[in-house]
């Protein structure tokens, strides 16, 4: 029998092979985290259709920014910095506990459709059109982690009743909940897309007011929006509410207003019915995406730490923090003439 000696060279080859095998396993095995990655900003103009709308022929344009979200591998979870502009977050921040990946994706798409309608309504009202808004329930904006609503409610659900009492407005929801003691169960009627569902959910105490019962979600007013003209916005497979500001700016452009004034304007922010620009997530990645697209300015919400985070990664990109749609329009109108 011939025995081969373990020479230093052979040992080095074995170690290298084991290291490569380990890296391959770590790269292929999924982790419990998600990776947020930058996506190059996209022009909004091809997505918006308005009867009789104008196509801008200038050098500028309005751009929306998106974020790639995907489950991280074990390798990426250990070394997230190997992806430029990446941020590692727990899966519970992307897909609420008890909600499938598919259900979370459908919720994102419902949020985008709602964002499109709200953006069109805000832009048309700013232009003097009569827009009809009727309260249509209470929108679930986010689920409180640790509440009993996890696994039952989902973002973009619309609460239409509590224990049989209609809740067309947030005020009606608060009225119905005022009769409930913390820890008691309530039957919550919801509208999820075309489906009507009901869940029995145990309430929790409000940390700021322990005698007050909460279902466990952040509410927003849902509305039935009737537009005077047929504005069509189609973002394809992009989900989430954060393109609202960019959509509203582009509707103004289509209706003859020179909003961008020759600048390449990237914009992000959730548009509320009253014109408020609400905070969004993924600002780091969106700033990378705006820079990659060669944007001149980047409009971001003043709310939360959005503006501070955008400036941290701006690297020369001009960041403009805005609280409302009118403020965004004023900020663009006062930019110096583009050379």
Query: pLDDT (tens digit, 9 = 90+) per residue, 253-270?
Result: 999 899 999 999 999 999
User: Do 118 and 273 form a contact (C-beta atoms < 8 A)?
Assistant: yes
Q: Read off the pLDDT band of 25 (50, 70, 90).
A: low
User: Do 84 and 286 form a contact (C-beta atoms < 8 A)?
Assistant: no
Locate 207 and state its tokens.
């940390």
* Residues belonging to the chain: 339
| C-alpha 191, offset from chain centre | 20
pLDDT of residue 29: 67
What is the CATH architecture of 132-223? Answer: Roll (2.30)
Q: Read off the pLDDT band of 286 (50, 70, 90).
A: very high
User: Do 163 and 182 form a contact (C-beta atoms < 8 A)?
Assistant: no
CB crowding 131-155: b at 16 or more within 10 Å, else e: beeeebbbbbbebbeebbbbebbbb
CB atoms within 10 A of CB 297: 19
pLDDT of residue 73: 72
The H or E element that residue 43 is part of is strand 42-43
Least confident of 13-17, 50-54, 187-191: 13-17
Quote the CA–CA distance of 299 and 328 in Å, as a whole number: 7
Looking at per-residue pLDDT, the higher value among 276 and 57 belongs to: 276
pLDDT of residue 1: 46
Angle at 115 between CA 109 and CA 264, to 5 degrees: 105
Hey, where are the domains in the chain? 37-95+113-130+229-333, 132-223
CB atoms within 10 A of CB 263: 20
Q: Read off the pLDDT band of 82 (50, 70, 90).
A: low
Least confident of 190-194, 286-290, 320-324: 190-194
Least confident of 76-80, 216-220, 272-276, 303-307: 76-80
Q: Are strands 30-38 and 87-90 parallel, antiparallel or unpaired?
A: antiparallel
CB crowding 188-206: b at 16 or more within 10 Å, else e: bbbbbeeeeeebebebbee
User: At residue 234, what are phi and psi to the nearest 5 degrees?
Assistant: -130, 105
What is the CATH architecture of 37-95+113-130+229-333? Answer: 2-Layer Sandwich (3.30)
Has residue 306 got a pLDDT over 60? yes
pLDDT of residue 53: 80
pLDDT above 90: percentage of residues in the chain: 54
What rounded mean pLDDT belongs to the chain?
87
Q: Read off the pLDDT band of 87 (50, 70, 90).
A: confident
pTM of the model: 0.80
Quote the CA–CA distance of 239 and 257 in Å, as a whole number: 27
User: At residue 161, what are phi and psi to the nearest 5 degrees?
Assistant: -160, 155
Region 213-228: mean pLDDT is 91
Residue holding tokens 């985008």?
112
pLDDT of residue 32: 79
């Amino acid at each position: 029998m011939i025995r081969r000696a373990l020479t230093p060279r052979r040992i080095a080859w074995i170690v290298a092979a084991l290291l490569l095998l380990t890296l391959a396993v770590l790269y292929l095995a999924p982790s419990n985290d998600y990776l947020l990655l930058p996506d190059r900003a996209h022009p909004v103009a091809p997505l918006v259709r308005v009867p009789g709308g104008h196509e801008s022929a200038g050098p500028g344009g309005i751009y929306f920014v998106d974020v790639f979200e995907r489950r991280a591998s074990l390798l990426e979870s250990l070394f997230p910095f190997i992806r430029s502009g990446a941020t590692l977050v727990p899966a519970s921040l992307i897909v609420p506990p008890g909600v499938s990946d598919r259900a979370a994706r459908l919720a994102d798409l419902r949020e985008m459709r709602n964002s499109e309608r709200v953006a069109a309504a805000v832009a048309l009202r700013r232009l003097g059109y009569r827009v009809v808004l009727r309260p249509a329930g209470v929108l679930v904006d986010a689920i409180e982690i640790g509440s009993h609503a996890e696994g039952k409610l989902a973002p973009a659900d619309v609460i239409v009743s509590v224990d049989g009492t209609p809740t067309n407005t947030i005020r009606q929801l608060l009225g119905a909940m005022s009769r409930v003691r913390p820890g008691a169960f309530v039957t919550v009627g919801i509208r999820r897309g075309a489906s009507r569902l009901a869940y029995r959910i145990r309430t929790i105490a409000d940390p700021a007011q322990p005698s007050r019962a909460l279902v466990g979600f952040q509410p927003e007013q849902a509305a039935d929006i009737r537009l005077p003209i047929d504005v069509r916005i189609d973002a394809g497979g992009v989900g989430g509410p954060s393109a609202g500001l960019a959509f509203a700016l582009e509707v103004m452009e289509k209706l003859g207003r020179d909003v961008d004034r020759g600048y390449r304007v990237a914009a992000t922010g959730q548009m509320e019915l009253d014109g408020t620009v609400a905070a969004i997530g993924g600002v780091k990645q969106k700033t990378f995406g705006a820079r990659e697209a060669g944007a001149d300015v980047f409009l971001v919400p003043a709310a939360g730490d959005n503006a501070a985070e955008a400036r941290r990664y701006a690297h020369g990109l001009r960041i403009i923090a805005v609280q409302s749609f009118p403020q965004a329009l004023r900020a663009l109108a006062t930019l110096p003439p583009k050379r």
